[in-house]
Structure 1
Amino acid sequence: MATNLGGLVKRLQDIMRNDPGINGDAQRIEQIIWALFLKVYDAKEEDWEMDEDDYHSIIPEPYRWQNWAHDDGTGTAYTGEELLEFVNDLFTVLKNLSITPDMPKKKRIVKTMFEETNQYMKDGVLLRQVINVIDDIDLESYDNMHALGDIYETILKELQSAGRAGEFYTPRAVTDFMADRIEPHLGERMADFACGTGGFLVSWLRELEKQIAAPDDRALWNHSVYGIEKKQFPYMLAITNLLLHGVDNPDIDHGNSLLHDVLDYTEKDKFDKILMNPPYGGSEKKDVMSHFPDDLADSETADLFMSVILYRLKQGGRAAVVLPDGFLFGTDNTKVNIKKKLMAECDLHTIVRLPGSVFAPYTSITTNILFFDRTHPTEKIWFYRLDMPEGYKHFSKTKPMRLEHFDPVKAWWDDRQEILEGDFPKAKCYTIDEIAAGGYNLDLCGFPHEEEEILEPMELIQKYQEQRKSLNDDIDKILARITAKLEDNA
C-alpha cells in the first residue's frame, strides 16, 4: 500500500533531523526535492515510453529511479555507505549529462536540475529511509498525483520560514486572485520572468484547466506557460511543481531575464499574458543595466523587470504584477520614465493596494498589484485599497492570507464605485491628467494611519514618566500574585 500522503513531509523531516549532514529546513527541503523529482520523473518516463515508440531516457539505465531506489525487502537494495557512494556517483553522472539545444526540454531539465544541487545526508541508513518513503508514494492515480501537488504546496509554504528561500514564494491566495482577474484562455501563452517556485504558473494552469474539453485542449494547456528563474534552488522547486501538476514538458529556463538586451526582443519573444511578482529591493550592477535604454536603466531590480514586461507583452495582451510602494511613489527620473512608458503604451486600469504582512515573515514591505492591458494608452486609473480582514491584526504562517480575503475587491471589480471611509478614499478613480499633474506619483488610496502626536519636551517627559509608572504598577501586581501563589504552595 502506498505511503499515506498526509504526513509525508513530517515523516521525511523527522528522519533527516537525525542526520549530522543536514542543517536547517532549507537543506531538508532541497533533499526532499531532488529525490521527489527523480521519483516523479520516473513515473513520467513510463508514460512517455508508452506514448512514444522511439523514447529513450537521458538517464543511464543503472541510475534511473526504478533500477536502484526500490527496496523489495530482500536485503539487496543499496543502503549505508554503499548507498551514499552510489548517490554521489548518481549526482556526478546527472551533472555531466550531454545535452544539445535541439533536445526536448523534458530531457534537458535533468541536467539543469542537478547542476548546482547538493546531497547533504551523511548517514546512508537514514538516506535509505528517506528514499523508501518517497519511493512508496503511489503516482498511478490522478487523485494521488493531485494530492501530492497539494502537499508540495505545504513544502513551498515552509520556505517562508527557511531563511531567504521565502523570497521565491508568493502566497497562493495572491497568485490565484491574479490568475483569475487576468482571465486565461486556451491558446494563450503566459510568462513569469522571475518565476521562483512556479506559483503563478500553477495558478494559471489551474484556472485554465477548467476550459479543457478535448484532448487537443490538453495539449494547448500543457504548452501554455513559460518561466525563467536564475537561482538553482527555486528553479528545482518550479520544475518539480509543474511535473506534479501534470505538465509533461516544463518550459522553464535556468537563467536571468535581465541579461538580455530588451531592444532585441521580437514578436516571437512576446506573450499574451504576464503574471509576476518581480524581486524587489535588490540593486543591479552596471553590466545588467547596460541591457536597457539609458532612460529606463535603473539599479532597482523591480524597475528593470517592469521594463522587461513592457518589451515582452503582446499587443492586446494583459498583465498583473506585484510591485512595492517604492515604485508607486518614486519620482526619480528613471521611475517616472518607466511609469510614463507604461501609461503611454498600456491601459493601466487598476491598482490594488494589498494590506501589510501579506508576505510575512519574509518581508513587511507594503505591496500593490498593477493590472494593465496593451490595448491603448491609459486614460484613467482605479485604485482599490484592500484592508486587513476583520479579526486580523496581521497575516502570519498560521493565519495566512486566503483567497476569500479578496472577495471585497472581486465584488467591487465589475461595478466600480468610489468609496470613502472617513477622510481616506478606499476606492477612487484618477484621470491621466491628474496623475501627470501629480508628477506620476501613484501612491494614492493609502492606508489610514494614526496621526503622530507632537508634544512639548516637558510634556513628553511627563507622559513617559506616567507610562513607566503604569507599567511598573502592572509588574508589581503580577509579582505580588506570583509571590502569593508560591506562599500558598509552601
Structure 2
Amino acid sequence: MITGEIRNKIDKIWTDMWAGGITNPLTVIEQLTYLMFIRSLDEKELEMESVEALSGEEMPKIFPQDKAGQDMRWSKFKTKDSRAIYDIVGSKVFPFIKAMNGKNTSAFSRYMQDAMFLIPTPQVLQKIITGLDELYEHDIKDLDMQGDVYEYMLGKLSTAGQNGQFRTPKQIRDMMVRLLDPAPDNKVCDPACGTAGFLVSIAEYIREKYETEMTPEQWEHFGGAMFTGFDTDRTMLRISAMNLMLHSITQPRIEYVDSVSKQNSISSAYDIILANPPFTGTIDTESINDNLKAVCSSKKTELLFVALFLRMLRKGGRCSCIVPDGVLFGTTRAHKALRKELVENHQLQTVISMPSGVFKPYAGVSTAILVFTKTGAGGTDKVWFYDMRADGYSLDDKRTPIEDNDIPDIIARFHNPEGEADRKPTEQSFFVEKSAIVANDYDLSINRYKEIVYEKVVYDAPAVIMDRLDKLNLDIAAKMEELRGLIGE
C-alpha cells in the first residue's frame, strides 16, 4: 500500500527532475527506470555473493571483478561526490547496461541499445539517487511494494496530456481481469501493451488467488512464458519490461511488433487477451495483414485490433477489450461486418457502456468494454448489457475518489448470469436476445435497447391555475398598499 509519505518522497524525486529541466513525464519515468534497473543489478549481485559465502560454491557475476567493474555497483558509487557519480553512471554504468543484451536474461536488457542517459547535471542525479535509495531502504519492503511504487510513478503519465494514452485506469484494468478470471496455466497477451498495465493486473490477480497452490511448473510459466506484450514504441517496451520485472516476471515475451501488420502472423496462440488498443489513426493499407482485411476491410485501428484478437485467440480463448463507442454503432460496411463476425461466428457475452469521463483528463471519448469468446462456430444467444455510471472516481479532470462505484456490482452480476435473467431493459443491466441485435443491424449500443421510464406528471386544470394566479396578484397588491402606507408614515 502506497502511503502519503511514500507519495511525497516520489513526488519530491519527480520535482527534482522537473526543476533540473526534465519536463516530459515519459522521459522522467524512463530515466528513473534505468536507475532502478542499475540498483536492481547490484541487489542481485549482493544476493549471489551472500549465497556464495554460505554455500562455498562460486556463483555467476554480473559486474566485472576488477576495480573498475566494482565501482559501477550502486552500493559502491552512491556515496561518492556528485561529479564522480555522474561520471561513473554516464560514462561507465550506462554503456555497460546498454551492452548487456545477450549477457543478461531479463527482457528489459533487450531494449537498452537505443536508450539515452538524459539526466542533465551531477546535482540532479545525486538527488535522484539519494531519493530512490531512501525509498528502497526505508519504504520498499518487498516486491509488491516495489511494483506499487512503480505503478504510482506510471500513474503520473495519466496527467500528462498525450502521454496518457498509454494508461488505462487501474480500477478498470482490474475489473476486466476479474471478468475473465485467468488461471495459472493460461497464456495471456496484450497486443498493444503500452506500460504492460493489463499484464501486471493479471499477474497480481494470479498471485492473489492462486499463490498458495501453484506448482513449481506453474511458477516457472508465470515467470515468463505466460505473458506476451507487443508495442511499436521502444520506450514503452523498456518501461513495460521493467514493470513486469518488478512484479517477478523476468522472462516475458515483450517485443517490438506492429500487431495489425503483416509483421504479426500469430494465430490461435492465447487463452486470454486483455487490451485497450489505439482508438485513433489509420495505417497504410498495404501493411495490414490480409486475414484481418477478410474480417473487416478497414484502415481503422480500433476495428483491425478486434479482428486481430479473434485471430490470436485459440478456440475457447476469451477477450476483454476497450473500444470507442463508434465500434458499437458505426454504419460503415467494416463496422457492421466486425459486429456480425462477433455475434454470428463467436460468442459475444457482454457490452459494458462506460461513462465518457473514465479517461479524463486527457480524453473525453465514450468507450465500452466488449467481452467475447472465440468459438468459430457461433454461440451468441443473448448479450448482457450494463450501463456503468461510476467507477469510484469523479468524472471530471481531477478524477478524485468518490463513493459511487458500479465496478463491484458489474463483477458480481457478470459471474451470476442466472440472477440477470428476469431484469428488464429499464434497469441498469439486462440481457438482449440475439434476434433483437440482428434485427437492429448488429447495433451494440446500449441506448438502442435500453428503455427509459417516463413518469406521468398531472397538472391542475388551466382554470384552477388562473384562479391561483389571480389570488397571488391580489395578495401582491395588498402588500404593496401596506408598504406604501409604511413609507407615507
TM-score (normalised: structure 1): 0.77
Pick the structure with greater CA Rg.
2
Report the alpha carbon displacement of residue 36 of structure 1 after superposing the two structures with TM: 1.5
Alignment of 1:8-407 (within 5 A): 8-19=9-20, 21-44=21-44, 55=60, 57=62, 67-70=72-75, 77=80, 79-80=82-83, 83-84=86-87, 86-96=89-99, 99=102, 106=106, 109-112=108-111, 114-138=112-136, 143-209=141-207, 210-212=209-211, 213-214=213-214, 216=216, 217-223=218-224, 224-260=226-262, 264-267=265-268, 270-295=269-294, 296-375=296-375, 376-377=377-378, 378-388=380-390, 394-399=395-400, 404-407=405-408
Report the alpha carbon displacement of residue 98 of structure 1 after superposing the two structures with TM: 5.5
1:486 counterpart residue number = none
Question: How far, CA to CA, are the matches of 1:256 and 1:393 in structure 2?
Answer: 35
Match of 2:420 among 416, 428, 445: 416
Question: How far, CA to CA, are the matches of 2:381 and 2:236 in structure 1?
Answer: 38
Instruction: Indicate if the aligned counterparts of 2:391 and 2:404 stay in contact, CA closer than 8 A.
Output: no
Q: 1:380 to 1:156 in 2, by over 3 A?
A: same
Q: 1:398 to 1:380 in 2, by over 3 A?
A: closer
Match of 1:437 among 436, 439, 448: 439
Report the RMSD for the aligned CA atoms in angstroms. Answer: 3.5
- Report how many aligned residue pairs link the two structures: 433
Instruction: Indicate if the aligned counterparts of 1:159 and 1:169 stay in contact, CA closer than 8 A.
Output: yes
Report the alpha carbon displacement of residue 207 of structure 1 after superposing the two structures with TM: 1.2
* Percent identity over paired residues: 23
Report the alpha carbon displacement of residue 265 of structure 1 after superposing the two structures with TM: 3.3
Report the alpha carbon displacement of residue 54 of structure 1 after superposing the two structures with TM: 7.0
Deviates more, 1:59-68 or 1:289-298: 59-68
Question: How far, CA to CA, are the matches of 2:87 and 2:369 in structure 1?
Answer: 47
Report the alpha carbon displacement of residue 301 of structure 1 after superposing the two structures with TM: 1.1
Report the alpha carbon displacement of residue 396 of structure 1 after superposing the two structures with TM: 4.1
Instruction: Indicate if the aligned counterparts of 1:189 and 1:271 stay in contact, CA closer than 8 A.
Output: yes
Kindly provide the CA deviation profile for residues 356-392 of structure 1, in whole angstroms up to 9, marking residues without a partner as x.
Answer: 21111121111111111124512221211112369x7
TM-score (normalised: structure 2): 0.78
Kindly provide the CA deviation profile for residues 117-159 of structure 1, in whole angstroms up to 9, marking residues without a partner as x.
Answer: 3332221122122123324444799843322211222111110
Q: 1:104 to 1:127 in 2, by over 3 A?
A: closer
Question: How far, CA to CA, are the matches of 2:146 and 2:404 in structure 1?
Answer: 21
Question: How far, CA to CA, are the matches of 1:29 and 1:170 in structure 2?
Answer: 17
1:426 counterpart residue number = 428
Instruction: Indicate if the aligned counterparts of 2:357 and 2:396 stay in contact, CA closer than 8 A.
Output: yes
What runs of 5+ residues in structure 1 fail to find an aligned partner? 452-490
Deviates more, 1:247-256 or 1:362-371: 247-256
Kindly provide the CA deviation profile for residues 330-381 of structure 1, in whole angstroms up to 9, marking residues without a partner as x.
Answer: 1211222222222233210111111221111121111111111124512221
- The 3-state SS of whatever aligns with 1:362 is coil
What runs of 5+ residues in structure 2 fail to find an aligned partner? 455-489
Deviates more, 1:353-362 or 1:42-51: 42-51
Question: How far, CA to CA, are the matches of 1:71 and 1:104 in structure 2?
Answer: 21
Amino acid at match of 2:434: I
Instruction: Indicate if the aligned counterparts of 2:394 and 2:402 stay in contact, CA closer than 8 A.
Output: no
Q: 1:65 to 1:35 in 2, by over 3 A?
A: farther
Q: 1:408 to 1:73 in 2, by over 3 A?
A: closer
Amino acid at match of 1:127: L
